[in-house]
A and B are shown apart, each in its own frame.
Chain A
Amino acid sequence: MKITTRKITTRMARRIVALVMLITLLVAGITLILSALRQNIVFFLVPSDIVAAHITDTTSAASEHTDKNARKKYIGRRVRIGGLVVEGSLEQDKDSGEVQFIISDGKAQVSVRYLGLLPDLFREGQGIVAIGEIIPPPTSATTSSTKSHGELVEFRAEQVLAKHDEYYMPRGLEKELKKKNLWQGNP
């Protein structure tokens, strides 16, 4: 009798160990997957979002904790920004080939730098989406005045996407502009 009970208990013990191992593996796997997902979230922003986050940063004493989370979320990580390219703002550095342009959502403007080929449908006055990072603001207030585009927040793009064809905006952009009541129909 003793032997059989021992057998049963060892079998149960083995099963419990297997179950615990399985659950641990599963939890570990899901945690890893979710963290991979969270790390790779790319937020879609319009210039006013970025400027709002930026202002809280440079004048952090004034607006204590408003949008501080937002700033933490955006600066130094990959984001997408969308807006209309301001007429006459496109410039190219002749040596490096780096292009620079200003995008606007009607309320705020952001200066975008990009080292690469602009997409086929990129034009001034049209909607684009850029994927990249916000260049962190200079630490002291004095250096900010030397920027090429005045006081504008700067954004370094890794990739620039334009409207896919003549009828559609990048979808995220259209939605964001509509949300902020800046949408004026297809240009």
Chain B
Amino acid sequence: MSIEIGHYALVLALCIAIALATLLPLGLLGKNAFCRHLTATSSLARPLASAMFILCLFASAMLIRAFLLSDFSALLVWQNSHSSKPMLYKFAAMWGNHEGSMLLWVLVLSLFAMLIAFFTKSQHAKQSPLTTLTLSIQSAICALFLAFTLFFSNPFARAYPVAADGMGLNPILQHPALAIHPPLLYLGYVGLSAAFSTTIAALILNNISNEWARATRFWTLLAWVFLAAGITLGAWWAYEELGWGGFWFWDPVENASLMPWLLATAALHALMSFIKTARIRAWAILLVLLAFSASMLGTFLVRSGILVSVHSFASDPLRGIVILLCVTIVTASALALFAWRKNTENSTNLKPFPLLSREGAQFINILLLSCCCALVMLATLYPLFFEFFTKRSIAIGPPYYTAVLTPFFLVIVTALGILPALGWRRSSRKQIIRHASIVAPIATGSGIAVFLVANYSASAAIAVAFGIWALIGAARTKGAPGVACAHAGIAILLIACASASLNDVEKFRTMRVGNTITLNKGTSSTKLELKNIFTKQGSNYNELGARFQLNSKNTLTPAIRTYIPSGIKTTEASINRTILRDIYVTIATLDERSSDSSTKNRDTISVRVRKKPLMFWVWAGAAITIFGGILSLIPRNLLKRRLQQ
């Protein structure tokens, strides 16, 4: 019964979304009392938007209830859950599949619709037309995706006959990070829709004002923070859970989340320039529109299953085509509106700004970030076109990304480093030279130092030098703590990623109890002794583990888990972490893989050990960047007041 009520709530939400999308613009057109009544926030917009969100929330709650109670008469629960699963993962199973994740997408869309409805300054009794129209457009997007969810991927379908137990969630997905990774990522993806709606509304009203820029910056920044947190958690999950030993694989699904982030970053810089100097206007509009389009494209790529990816989710061709259609309609109409407005706009003749100024540096940054996004997109979609024309399946190897993106990124980082010497609208060559003459020798020195002392490769040392250059630049940035923080995070990320991926050591061998494995890099060496091999029972899995002695204090216990309902195995990596390096151990046996009984001996295991320098700082850098974003979200005067107290 609750399943049907949830379904019904979703249908009601669709009706409200359509009503909001059509009634609000009607209210804007007319001048009589009825129309004014329609646009007043208190009478229509706020209650309806809240109702839409509450109905979507209720529908999601009904689905989660079915998961928690293991109601296998619901098709989705039967396919993705199992009665023996821990509670947290029953809860998270709701969005671990296509239908549930579409419901989550819609839920977040309606959440942002409600936030828009309440996002009006308290001193204005009447809502501005911009906010009203924004809400209407947000509701239209809501209606589109609600209709898709209801007609093409209904999460409330029933299964008959009812099965005794479910098919279980893919155990790879059984990790606390996964319980919050999709909601965070979706808050980021869909948060961009609020910025998109605001921009479309401003374009329709032909009023690209500071009000638009401030509202758009707020939504973009909010989405950017969530997107960054989601991407970081995904990387963390790959590193901790999948046991692949890396954190970024240039997989199409990862690229799909990186592209909107790159565009949102560029959009934030463009919006900042627009607010401060009224320049880079067209770029700001275009980037906001493209950022949400990229996040929809990302959803399409991930959810349609057309990409050859290690992540490959559901593959239903009809759904893919319908999502592609939705994405095309939204993107094409947005870009057409932009082109039309750009054409009719009376171009005020502004003087070209100097390249050696903040807006100049930001313009370079915007241009290069857009290029980076285009290059990632080219490589992500290239296999699809290649296969379409030549009927051959291909993939693009990771070396492409490092080769192509590195030069762009180094220029971006260079621009980031001279930021404190630049001012808005003005250029002072003397100041730049002074700043560079202090920082450049320090950066070069540290690059040479790690090359000589820490046995870094030349390319890793160059990356460290650029990172130090940017880090000092970020530290000297005054007046904007959020910006300084985010930039410092990026600089730390550059240094840490270069160290962890260019300067790591790895060893693989088979071991018996008592054997030792040694990692050598330059003068430093790490020794691991295999103490014993053990078995353990978990809540819904059996574990075969191995205990390694690293030094007198620390042991490492990597394991292989066999999950009971499905018999699926997962590798549990064991990591010894200090701020200077991670020691990462994974094990495997040939047990049960082979029909040949001679390989079934339990005293020998295969061991892979990796040493990743500065791996801790990859996570710390990402966290600092995200913190910078949060800091920028807080209004400046509020922050100042707090600091003075």
A-side residues, CB < 8 A to B, are: 32-33, 36-37, 39-44, 78, 80, 87-88, 90-92, 94-97, 99, 115-118, 120-124, 161, 164-166, 168, 170-172, 175-176, 179
Give me the 8 closest cross-chain CB pairs, A-B, nearest first: A44-B393, A97-B510, A40-B400, A40-B397, A117-B588, A90-B594, A165-B170, A120-B569
Q: Measured between C-beta atoms, what is the minimum distance from A71 to chain B in Å?
A: 15
B81 in the interface (beta carbon within 8 A):
no
List residues of chain B with CB within 8 A of the CB of A179: 391
A36 and B569 within 8 A (CB): no
A87 and B595 within 8 A (CB): yes
Q: Measured between C-beta atoms, what is the minimum distance from B62 to chain A in Å?
A: 26
B638 in the interface (beta carbon within 8 A):
no
List residues of chain B with CB within 8 A of the CB of A99: 590
Q: Measured between C-beta atoms, what is the minimum distance from A90 to chain B in Å?
A: 4
B172 and A165 within 8 A (CB): yes
List residues of chain B with CB within 8 A of the CB of A78: 397
Q: Which of A41, A42, A164 contacts B312 (CB 8 A)?
A: A164
B311 in the interface (beta carbon within 8 A):
yes
List residues of chain B with CB within 8 A of the CB of A166: 170, 566, 568
Decide: A37 near B396, CB < 8 A? Known: A166-B566, A171-B315.
yes
Q: Measured between C-beta atoms, what is the minimum distance from A129 to chain B in Å?
A: 9
B535 in the interface (beta carbon within 8 A):
no
List residues of chain A with CB within 8 A of the CB of B508: 97, 115-117
What 0/1 pattern do residues 370 to 411 of B give for CB contact below 8 A with A? 000001001100100010000111111111100110000000
Measured CA separation A175–B392 after assembly (Å): 10
Measured CA separation A118–B570 after assembly (Å): 11
Decide: A120 near B394, CB < 8 A? Known: A88-B594, A88-B595, A94-B510.
no
Within 8 A of A (CB), among B435-484: none
Within 8 A of A (CB), among B488-535: 508-510
B207 in the interface (beta carbon within 8 A):
no
Q: Measured between C-beta atoms, what is the minimum distance from A172 to chain B in Å?
A: 5
A118 and B308 within 8 A (CB): no
A123 and B593 within 8 A (CB): yes
What 0/1 pattern do residues 310 to 347 of B give for CB contact below 8 A with A? 11100100000000000000000000000000000000
**Which chain B residue has the least Cβ–Cβ distance from A116?**
B508
Number of chain B interface residues as a range: 35 or more
A122 and B593 within 8 A (CB): yes
List residues of chain B with CB within 8 A of the CB of A172: 308, 393, 395
List residues of chain A with CB within 8 A of the CB of B179: none
- 23 intermolecular pairs with C-beta atoms under 8 Å apart: A36-B399, A36-B400, A37-B378, A37-B382, A39-B400, A40-B396, A41-B394, A42-B395, A44-B393, A88-B594, A94-B510, A94-B604, A95-B510, A96-B509, A117-B508, A117-B588, A120-B243, A164-B312, A165-B568, A168-B312, A168-B315, A171-B307, A175-B393
Measured CA separation A33–B400 after assembly (Å): 8
List residues of chain B with CB within 8 A of the CB of A123: 592-593
Q: Which of A40, A120, A161 contacts B560 (CB 8 A)?
A: A120
B400 and A164 within 8 A (CB): no
Q: Measured between C-beta atoms, what is the minimum distance from A26 to chain B in Å?
A: 11
Q: Which of B172, B386, B590, B596 contacts A88 (CB 8 A)?
A: B596
A33 and B375 within 8 A (CB): yes
What 0/1 pattern do residues 552 to 583 of B give for CB contact below 8 A with A? 00000000100000101111000000000000
Q: Measured between C-beta atoms, what is the minimum distance from A186 to chain B in Å?
A: 12
List residues of chain B with CB within 8 A of the CB of A161: 310
Measured CA separation A175–B243 after assembly (Å): 27
Which of A39, A123, A165, A175 has the most C-beta atoms of chain B within 10 angstroms of its own C-beta? Answer: A165
Within 8 A of A (CB), among B134-191: 170, 172
B309 in the interface (beta carbon within 8 A):
yes
Q: Measured between C-beta atoms, what is the minimum distance from B285 to chain A in Å?
A: 24
List residues of chain A with CB within 8 A of the CB of B397: 40-42, 78
**Which chain B residue has the least Cβ–Cβ distance from A46?**
B393
Decide: A90 near B596, CB < 8 A? Known: A44-B393, A120-B560.
yes
Q: Which of A32, A33, A42, A164 contacts B394 (CB 8 A)?
A: A42
Q: Which of B170, B310, B396, B566 contacts A42 (CB 8 A)?
A: B396
Measured CA separation A118–B305 after assembly (Å): 25
List residues of chain B with CB within 8 A of the CB of A88: 594-596
B586 in the interface (beta carbon within 8 A):
yes
Decide: A124 near B309, CB < 8 A? Known: A92-B599, A116-B508, A176-B393.
no
B510 and A92 within 8 A (CB): yes
Q: Which of B392, B594, B606 contacts A44 (CB 8 A)?
A: B392
Measured CA separation A168–B570 after assembly (Å): 16
